[in-house]
Structure 1
Amino acid sequence: MNRAPLTLAAAAAGLAALTGIAAFTAPAAPAADSGRAATRLPVERSALLCPAPSGSDLAETTYTSVTPKGADGAATGTGTAQLVTADKKPTARLTLKEPGKPVSGSANGAEAPALAGAADGRLAPGWAAQQTTVVSAGSARGVLGVSCTAPDTDFWFPGASTAKTRQDYLHVTNPDDTAAVVDIELYGPDGVLKSDSGAGEGIPVPAKSSVPVLLSTLTTAPLADLTVHVTTRTGRVGAAVQVQEEGVGADWLPASADAAGSLVLPGIPADATDVRLVAFATGDDDADLKLRLAGPTGSITPAGAETLHVKSRMTATIDLKNLTRGDAGSLLLAPADPAHTAPVVAALRVTRGSGAKQELAFVPATGALGARATAADNRATGTTLSLTAPTADATVKVTASVGTQAGTSTSKTYTVKAGTTLAVQPPVPAGLKGSYALTVETESGGPVHVARMLALPDDGIPMFTIQTLPDDRGTVAVPEAEQDLSVLSR
C-alpha cells in the first residue's frame, strides 16, 4: 500500500526537538459561580513517544496516527499533530491534517529511529499513534506492535525476563531539551535483584534521545519471569520493553496500569495455546488474589488456578496453559478476601501456535475505557476487538474511521453483559484502501476494558500483537471559578 515516506537519514537515537512539551494541557477555565462542579473540557495539547522499532535488517515498520472526531464541545479551529524522527534538526514528519482521517508512513531496516510528537488545538483530544513492525525471519521474527504513549516518571513491567532464551531490551526515550536520569530495579521471586556494580542506577538519557538497556546486563541471575520498575530522578521519559524469545517470537511489553487491588487483563485470544500470569505486589503487604476468567457467557474460576499468593515486593507467576479453550476471554484479578486489599501490577504472556510455528504477545493490566479510546492501525482483515464488562452491563459504540487512502466511516453499537467478554470482528470502512482506526466510546452502563488483537499470519505462523485501550484522556476536569476582586485589598 502507498504510505507517506519517512526519511531516516538521522541516527536511530535521534528525536524531535520538542521544547517544553506537555503530555496534557488543560484550557483556561471560564469565569463562573464558585462552588459549581468542575467541567470537562478537551485538552489543548498532547504528547506521544514511540520506541525505536527493531534491530533487525528485515524489519518493516508502519506508523499510523489519528485523532478521532470529537463529540459536542470538542476543541475547534486549527491544530497540528506531528510524529517526528531525526535529531535536533528533524527531517521527517508524519502529519495529521484533520480529525477522523488517519495517516500512515513506513520505515524499513534496523536504523529506524524512535519517534516523538505533539498535537495541539483540535487535533490534541484523543490523539493516538501505533507502531507496527513485521520481522519475517531471525531471532526477532514476529509482529511487534506498540501504542505510542505519553511521557511519564514511573513504570512497572511485570513479565520481563533475563532467561538465556530471552533478549529483553528496555527502551527509554527522552523527548525534552534537558537530560533525564532514570533508575531501573529488577524484582524476581525472592525480591529485588542487587547489583554489586550499581548497574541500573542513575542511567543518563540525553536530551532528545532513546537509550536501549539489555536487562540481562543488569544482573547475573537468569530468571524466566521478573518485574522491572523504572523511575526518573530528573525529567520524564517514555518506556517499553522489547522482547525476543528464541524459537517463539517477539513483541513489545507495555507498562502495566497503576497498581491496584483489583485488575483486568482483557483480550486473551480464543486460540491461545499458553497463557502465563506474572504479578507483583508493590506495597508492604502480601496480596492474595482470586482469579476469574470472563468469557462469552460469564465468569468462571480456572481449574487448578483459583488463587495466587503474591509476596510483598516479589514477583509471582502461574501457568494458566490454554485456559480460553476456543473462546476469547479476559482475566479478572480481585482480592481473595475483600477486607484485605494489597496493590499489585500484572501482565500476561500469551502464545498462539505450537512448535516452530509459535508467536507471542503480552497483555498488561489496563484501566477502564472511560469515555473513549482509539486503536490507530487496523487492516481489512485480522482485527479482533475484545470488550470486557467486569461488574455491570455496558453499551459501547465502535467507529471505524475512513481509510488512510480510501473508505467510508461506519459505526456499530455493542452491548456487553456483566462478567463477560465479547470478542467481535469490528466494522470495516466500505471501500477501504490502506489501514483505518477504531474508536471505542462508552455509551451507558458500567466500566468496560478493551483490547485489540491484530493478526498478520505469515508462512503458517500465527503472528499477532495485542494492544489495550484505556481512556485516551482527551478531556480534563477544569474547576469553575469566579472573579474575587476583594483579594486586591487584602
Structure 2
Amino acid sequence: MKSTHLSLIAGAAVLAAITGFATITAPGAPADTGTKSATLLPVERSSLVCPRPSDSDLAETRYTAFTPAGEGGDAEGTAELKPALPVVDDEDETDPKKVKKAEEAAKKAKEKADKPVLAVKQPGTPVVAEADGSDAPALVGTATGTLAPGWVAQQTTEVTVGGARGLLGVTCTAPDTDFWFPGASTAKSRQDYLHLTNPEDSAAVADIELYGPEGALKSEVGDGITVPARSSVAVLLSTLTAEAVDQLTAHVTTRSGRIGAVVLSADDQAGSDWITASDDPDGTLVLPGIPADATSVQLVAFAPGEDDADVKIQLLGKNAAFSPAGNATLHIKSSMTAAVDLKDVTRGEPGSLRLSPVQKGRPTPIVAALRVVRGKGDKQEIAYIPATAPVGARASVPDNRAEGSTLSLTAPGAAAEVKVTASAGSGGGEPAVETYTVKAGTTLAVTPKAPEGLKGAYALTVETTSGGPVHASRTLARTEGGVQMFTVQTLPDDRGTVEVPSARQDLSVLDD
C-alpha cells in the first residue's frame, strides 16, 4: 500500500509539471469533468521573409514594418528584419586565394546580417528603412511577444527606366511549404524569377512544377533546388523548360524546411511587379480590388485536382454583381492552366472578381490570379491580384502615403461593416478611424483618411465588425513620366491570434 501511495503522489507531481497548471483535488471533492472551449490568445512569435528587391542599379526600395495596436500579451518582445546571407559560389575551392577571399566575404556578410535593417519598437507605429540600387538584400525576420500579433512588412521598389520599369510592391510572406502562382510565364517577352527565401538555420529543399494550357511542362531541373540556411535564391522560370508559355501556373513545394516564395515578373513592354501566391485551392475564390481605370484584365486559373472545374465568373461592381458579357463561365481542365481576357471589364468603376462553381454542391478546388494593366501603348503598367482569403478579424497593410492609396473592400455574400484604422505615421501624426458599410455583392473603393499631422508612411488596419466575410486589397499608385505606375497588395487575416485548447485535470490516468 505504501509503495502504491507514493507512486500516485509522484505521478500526480509529474502531471502537474507537464501541464503547468494542474492541481491535486482534495479527497472527497468532485472532479472537474466539464469540457471547456478553446481560448483565443495572441500569438507569441511570427516570422517573415522579403525577397531581394531588384537587379536594377536605379531601383529605389523602401521597407516598411508594422505591428497593429491591440491585445498582444504581457511579454515584451522584438520585431526585426535582417539581411539574408548571400549564397556562396564554391566552384573554385581548389584556389587558396579565392577560398580565403570567399571566407572573408562570408564573414563580413555574417556580421552585416546580424544588424537589423529595421526594427519595430512599439505597436501602432510603422518603421521605415530605405535601400538604393541592386545591392539591397533579401530579408528574414522574427517578431516575438507584444510585437508578434499581426506583424506585417512590405517592400516597395520604384524603377523609372527601361521596358520593365514600374512600381513593385510585395507583402513579406510567412514561410510555408506549398505555393501556387497562376499568371507566371516562360514567354520570350517575360523575365519571371521565382525568389525562394529560407529563414531557418538549416537548408531547405524545394521542387518547382510548371503547368501550361496543355498540362505539365517538361523539366528536369526543377526538382531538388537547395535553398541554403538564412539565404535566398532566384530561379529564372524559362531556364526550367524549353517550352515558351505565355500564361502558366507555377507550383512550389518543399521536401524539407519552410520557405517564402514569390515571383518577380518583368514584361518588356508593360512594366513589372511581383506575383504573390494564390489562396489555397478552393471551390469559390475572390480576387479583390481591380482599379476603375484598368484597360485590360486577364484571368488565369488552374485546377490542381483530378477533376475538371466549371466556374461562374462574376464582377462585384460598385452597385451590383454581374457576369461579363461573353465570359459568364470558364472551363478549367484538370492539371491545365486556363486563361481568359476580360478586357476593360470594370468599365470605369472599381470591382472585384468572384469565381464560384457552376453546379452548386459540386465544387472543384482551383487557384487563380488576375493580371491587370493600366494605360496603353508605351505607357502601360501591370500589377497582379491573387485570389485571397477574407480579412477575418483583422488585417493590415503598411507603406501608405499621403496620396496614392486606395482601399478596396468586397462583400461577396452578405453585407458587412468594417472599421479602418490609419495608424500614426512613421515620422509623426495621430491615428484616424473610419467605419464603412459594404453592400452585399459589391465592391467599395475608398481613399483612406490619412492621419492628422502625417509625417512619413502609415499603415491601414481593417477589422470586420459585423456581417459577412470581407475581402480587401490596397492599391498604391503614382505617376512618373506619364506612366500610371501601381501595385496591389491583398489583405488576408493576419492570424494574430491562435486557439489554445483548455485543459482539465484527470487523475484517472494514474489508475493501475
Fold similarity call, TM over 0.5: yes
CA RMSD of aligned residues (A): 1.3
How far apart, in 2, do the equivalents of 1:486 and 1:122 lie?
Answer: 38
Q: Which 5+ residue runs of structure 2 have no aligned equivalent?
A: 1-18, 23-31, 86-109
Aligned: 1:203 with 2:204: no
Aligned to 2:78: 80
Correspondence for 1:253: 275
Alignment of 1:175-254 (within 5 A): 175-195=199-219, 198-254=220-276
The aligned runs of 1:106-145 (5 Å cut-off) are 106-145=130-169
Q: Which amino acid aligns with 1:373?
A: A
Structure 2 Cα separation of the partners of residues 45 and 467 of structure 1: 23
Q: String of CA shifts for 1:85-143, please: whole Å, max 9, x gaps.
A: 15343234311110001100000111111001000100000001011000011243101
Q: Distance in 2 between matches of 1:337 and 1:86?
A: 47
Which deviations, in whole Å up to 9, do the C-alpha atoms of 1:384-431 show, x marking residues without a partner? 000000000100000000000011101000000100000000110011
Q: Distance between the aligned counterparts of 1:175 and 1:34, measured in 2?
A: 42
Per-residue deviation, 1:341? 1.3
Alpha-carbon shift at residue 39 of structure 1 (Å): 1.1
- Measure, in 2, the Cα distance between the counterparts of 1:33 and 1:466: 51
Matched residue SS, 2:482: coil
| Structure 1 residue 51 corresponds to structure 2 residue 51 | yes
Counterpart position of 1:24? none
Q: Does 1:320 align with 2:342?
A: yes
AA aligned opposite 1:189: P
Tell me, in whole angstroms, the C-alpha distance in 2 between the residues paired with 1:278 and 1:75: 42
Q: CA deviation at 1:459?
A: 1.1
Pairing partner for 2:444 from 422, 427, 445: 422
* Counterpart Cα distance in 2 of 1:440 and 1:337: 33
Residue identity opposite 1:75 in structure 2 = G
The structure that has the greater radius of gyration is: 2
Are the counterparts in 2 of residues 30 and 480 from structure 1 also a CA contact under 8 Å? no
Higher mean displacement: 343-352 or 36-45:
36-45
Q: Work out which of the residue numbers 181, 186, 191 in structure 2 matches 1:167.
A: 191
Please give the alpha-carbon distance, in whole angstroms, between the structure 1 residues aligned to 2:221 and 2:142.
Answer: 33
Aligned partners of 1:341, 1:414: CA distance in 2, in Å? 32
Give the whole-Å Cα distance in 2 for the aligned partners of 1:54 and 1:344: 31
AA in 1 matched with 2:201: D
Asked if the contact 1:400/1:437 (under 8 Å) is kept, the reply is yes
8 Å contact kept, 2:164–2:269 = no
- Aligned partner of 2:464 in structure 1 is 442
Q: 1:186-213: CA deviations, max 9, x gaps?
A: 0000100112xx1101111111110100
* Counterpart in the other structure of 1:70: 70
Partner of 1:403 in structure 2?
425
Residue identity opposite 1:413 in structure 2: T
CA contact (8 A) 1:161 1:215 kept: yes
Question: Against the structure 1 CA distance between its residues 488 and 282, is the aligned structure 2 distance closer, same or farther, given a 3 Å change threshold?
Answer: same
TM-score for the superposition, normalised by structure 1: 0.92
Following the alignment from structure 1 to structure 2, what is the Cα–Cα distance between the partners of residues 260 and 162?
Answer: 26
Moved over 6 A (4+): 28-33
SS of the equivalent of 2:135 reads coil
- CA distance in 1 between partners of 2:184 and 2:405 (Å): 26
- Structure 1: tracts of 5 or more residues without a match: 1-27
TM-score normalized with structure 2 length: 0.88
Deviation at 1:457, TM superposition (A): 1.4
Structure 1 residue 30 displacement after superposition? 6.8
Change (3 A) 1:34 1:169: farther
Q: Is the CA contact 1:157–1:255 (under 8 Å) kept in the aligned structure 2? A: yes
- Alpha-carbon offset, residue 29 of structure 1: 9.2
SS at match of 1:463: strand
Aligned-partner residue type, residue 168 of structure 2: L
Aligned pair count reads: 459
1:41 is matched with 41
**AA partner of residue 156 (structure 1):** W
| Aligned equivalent of 1:103 | 127
